[in-house]
Amino acid sequence: MEYAVIFLPLFGAIFGYLSKYISDLTSQITTTFFVCVTAAISIILFYNGVINNDYGNYLIYEWISSGDFVVNWSVNIDPLSSIMLVVVTLISALVHIYSIGYMKHDPNKPRFMSYLSLFTFSMIVLVVSDNFLQLFFGWEGVGLCSYLLIGFWYKKDSANKAAIKAFIVNRVGDFGFALGIFLIFMFFGTVNYSEVFEITPKFSSETINFLGFNINLITLICLFLFIGAMGKSAQFFLHTWLPDAMEGPTPVSALIHAATMVTAGVFLVVRCSPIFEYSQIALNFVAIIGMLTAFFAASVALVQNDIKRIIAYSTCSQLGYMFFATGVGAYNVAIFHLFTHAFFKALLFLGSGSVIHSLKEEQDIRKMGGIWRQMPYTWIAMIVGTLALTGFPFLSGYYSKDAIIEFAYLKGTNIGYFAAGIGIVTALMTAMYSWRLIFKTFHGKFNNLDLSKFEIKDSGILIIFPLVILILGSIFSGIFFKELLIGHHYNDFWQSSILILKSIDHSNVPYWILFITPLLVTLAIPISYYLYIINNKILEKIKIKNQLIYKFLLNKWYIDEIYDFTFVRPSQIIGSFLWKSGDIKTIDRFGPDGISKIVKTLSKKTTKFQSGYIYDYAFVMLIGLSLLLTIFIFYK
């Protein structure tokens, strides 16, 4: 059964692709069926783990063996991987079903379904790995699928560009990740988790000289691994690909760019908690990057107009929350937020997909409005998703997000207090942009000139059914799993899969912190209703007065422009320069071309001597003779 988890989606991907020769429907059914079975198995595995403590490591075969570098393919089921499996396969199954409805008019259905299954396979490989290299395989595999799916509509130039950008920015992250793996192998002599984690404490005070700096070994390893995590989880500096990735079809955004792949970075940090726990510097760095991302992304989301980009920035911001949770050492809370976030963010994306679908591929929220009566199911789904995301009391986000802020505060360090403060401010911003999205999309005036309001209908059952499941998940996943994942006896569940050296005492939470976030996010609803629906002139005035800040936010802090200026263009210029000036003008000119030119000129010159006139020859002979005589006289 453990093996089935990994291979069923792969079979699904292969059969799904091949069955395009039979019919599109066959392919859709095969892939969906295989993934649904996988989801069922994952839930059984999770259940077995929780109830019967049934975990284990199942070897597939040896992958690479070179000297002492030995790596296996294996399926490793432990508490962390089993809960990740549930998230991945469940969301994936729902997205498969949704895609059958969503991609109804697309000519390339088998390809799409097969990519989705291939993605699921890679993600599972990543999650169930028992060593860093298999993790890296899955890591690059999901990156590949993300590339393929972002660029799925290959006729669109913007989609192709976004796909390449996603892949290359991720490569930069992977570069750090790979260096981390090299370091681990070099000092620990192995890349298996269990062996690495076992000997980590021995190296905790080892320092090495890295490019002239003396750095603590563990810190360096953690920082490199975290660069990988930053790339995959779109953290600040390496986040630029995620908003552009919204060029892909919406189901892809829901599955890959919200619920699963982008959380792989968080998973990595949590998986490596036995290493990170030994480096306070690295943890602080993680926390700071997390805070920065949470704040930055939320601030940008406030002014964007593309419905999917708003949600993308929101994802980025929520990932920031997860990272600063890990940064303060609350790994279980990070995974809890990852778990609940998967439901409500997938719900929001699939809901927005439903809107886009009904509005004939319109994504600009300025061209929507007032359609909630036309699409009641989607509207409810989006409302539930938004409530859960903002942390409205008793929905899933309330439990996980507030827990992050509380744990950060209770950590008792400066970073912790600061993180809690950023968390509260960001929660307010989250509420503002989320409700802005809802009100501009579903309420107020209908602003679309191309469509008549009465043409708009809610989507079909295949689209609504996954939404219903996700609504249930968004409401109940928090309240049901809170005790298991972050309760007082959290260790009964997590066991050795995460390591927390100094656990945070969660019994005495100050009352004000329990109330402040829910209060703020609840107040945000009427405020944003007032600002965006009743009296939107105030905002216009603010916008005009603070033109500079508005532009700054609208252009995403100008990060893309900076990167273009510092990395993309210079490498193109250097490339041309090296080619034209290095290869052609220097190496070839002084090398082969130069030599042949010299030979040619020399031989041309010498041919002049053979003029055929006797007096020329006589003259040359005379000069030669006198030269010889001179030399002879001088050296005698």
Partner 1 sequence: MNFPILSSITFLPLIGAFFVFLTRSEKTEKNNGAIYISIFTSFLNFFISLFLWYSFDTKTSEFQFVEEIDWISGFIKFKFGIDGISILFILLTTLIVPIAIISCINSVKLRIKEFLIALLVLETFMIGVFCSLDLVVFYLFFEAGLIPMFLIIGIWGGPKKVYSAFKFFLFTLLGSVLMLVAIIAIYWITGTTDVTEIYQIKIPHEFQYLLWLAFFSSFAVKLPMWPVHTWLPDAHVEAPTPGSVILAAILLKMAGYGFLRFSIGLFPIASDYFTPLIFALSVIAVVYTSLVALMQDDMKKLIAYSSVAHMGFVTIGIFTFNKQGIEGSILQMISHGLISAALFLSVGILYDRTHSRLIKSYGGIVNILPKYSLFFMVFALATLGLPGTSGFVGEFLVLVGTFKVNFLVAVLASIGVILAAAYILWLYKRVIFGKLENPQLKKINDVNYLETSMLTVLCVMILLFGFYPDPLLETIKVSVDNLISNYNLEINNKLTLK
Q: Which residue has the tokens 């994802």?
A: 315
* Shortest distance in whole angstroms from residue 228 CB to partner 1: 12
572 binds partner 1 (CB under 8 A): yes
The answer to whether 160 and 117 are in contact (CB under 8 A) is no
Round to whole Å and give the CA distance between 272 and 486: 19
* Shortest distance in whole angstroms from residue 273 CB to partner 1: 24
543 binds partner 1 (CB under 8 A): no
63 binds partner 1 (CB under 8 A): yes
594 binds partner 1 (CB under 8 A): no
* Shortest distance in whole angstroms from residue 70 CB to partner 1: 11
* Shortest distance in whole angstroms from residue 565 CB to partner 1: 17
The answer to whether 75 and 118 are in contact (CB under 8 A) is no
Write the CB contacts of 609 (distance below 8 Å, at least 6 apart in sequence).
616, 620
213 binds partner 1 (CB under 8 A): no
Return the SS3 of 449.
coil
Triad 466, 469, 474: Cα angle to 5°: 120
Q: Bridge partners of 213?
A: 210
For residue 84, is it left (φ>0), alpha (ψ between -120 and 50) or beta?
alpha
Round to whole Å and give the CA distance between 567 and 104: 40
The answer to whether 13 and 114 are in contact (CB under 8 A) is yes
* Shortest distance in whole angstroms from residue 386 CB to partner 1: 36
**In this chain, which stretch among 232-240, 287-295, 592-600, 610-618 interacts with partner 1, using CB under 8 A?**
592-600
CA nearest neighbour of 279 among 189, 323, 217, 228: 217
* Shortest distance in whole angstroms from residue 293 CB to partner 1: 22
Write the CB contacts of 213 (distance below 8 Å, at least 6 apart in sequence).
none
The footprint of partner 1 on residues 283-342 (CB under 8 A) is none
* Shortest distance in whole angstroms from residue 566 CB to partner 1: 15
Return the SS3 of 480.
helix
Round to whole Å and give the CA distance between 13 and 560: 35
Member of 47, 394, 530, 579 binding partner 1 (CB under 8 A): 579
Q: DSSP letter string over 119-173?
A: HHHHHHHHHT-SBHHHHHHHHHHHHHHHHHHHTSSTT-HHHHHHHHHHHHHHHHH
Q: Which is nearer to partner 1, 155 or 445 (CB)?
A: 155
Member of 51, 105, 155, 445 binding partner 1 (CB under 8 A): 155
Q: How many residues does the chain have?
A: 636
The answer to whether 457 and 374 are in contact (CB under 8 A) is yes
* Shortest distance in whole angstroms from residue 569 CB to partner 1: 12
Structure tokens at 243: 């908003």
Member of 21, 67, 537, 541 binding partner 1 (CB under 8 A): 67
**In this chain, which stretch among 151-159, 299-307, 360-368, 535-543 interacts with partner 1, using CB under 8 A?**
151-159
Member of 182, 515, 565, 619 binding partner 1 (CB under 8 A): 182
571 binds partner 1 (CB under 8 A): yes
Member of 164, 302, 425, 451 binding partner 1 (CB under 8 A): 164
- Name the residue type at position 255: L
The answer to whether 397 and 344 are in contact (CB under 8 A) is yes
Q: Which is nearer to partner 1, 111 or 506 (CB)?
A: 111
Return the SS3 of 526.
helix
DSSP E strands in 369-409: the ranges are: none
Q: Which is nearer to partner 1, 169 or 311 (CB)?
A: 169
**In this chain, which stretch among 339-347, 447-455, 515-523, 582-590 interacts with partner 1, using CB under 8 A?**
582-590
Q: Bridge partners of 216?
A: 207
596 binds partner 1 (CB under 8 A): yes
* Shortest distance in whole angstroms from residue 107 CB to partner 1: 11
Q: What is the CA radius of gyration of the chain?
A: 31
Q: Which is nearer to partner 1, 152 or 296 (CB)?
A: 152
Member of 52, 66, 214, 452 binding partner 1 (CB under 8 A): 66
Round to whole Å and give the CA distance between 91 and 559: 32
Member of 57, 171, 285, 504 binding partner 1 (CB under 8 A): 171
Looking only at the bridges linking them, the beta strands covering 207-210 and 56-66 are unpaired
582 binds partner 1 (CB under 8 A): yes
The answer to whether 68 and 189 are in contact (CB under 8 A) is yes
* Shortest distance in whole angstroms from residue 137 CB to partner 1: 4
**In this chain, which stretch among 67-75, 367-375, 497-505, 556-564 interacts with partner 1, using CB under 8 A?**
67-75
616 binds partner 1 (CB under 8 A): no
* Shortest distance in whole angstroms from residue 69 CB to partner 1: 5
Residue 331, H or E segment: helix 331-358
Round to whole Å and give the CA distance between 547 and 553: 10
**In this chain, which stretch among 57-65, 356-364, 365-373, 394-402 interacts with partner 1, using CB under 8 A?**
57-65
* Shortest distance in whole angstroms from residue 175 CB to partner 1: 5
Member of 119, 136, 197, 481 binding partner 1 (CB under 8 A): 136
Q: Which is nearer to partner 1, 188 or 439 (CB)?
A: 188
SS (H, E, C) 46-92: HHHHHHHCCCEEEEEEEEEEECCEEEEEEEEECHHHHHHHHHHHHHH
**In this chain, which stretch among 130-138, 329-337, 393-401, 438-446 interacts with partner 1, using CB under 8 A?**
130-138
Size of the site for partner 1 (CB under 8 A): 53
**Binding residues for partner 1, per CB under 8 A?**
61-69, 133, 136-137, 140-141, 144, 147, 151, 154-155, 157, 160-161, 163-164, 167-168, 171-172, 175, 178-179, 182-183, 185-186, 210-211, 571-572, 574-576, 578-579, 582-584, 587-588, 591-592, 595-596
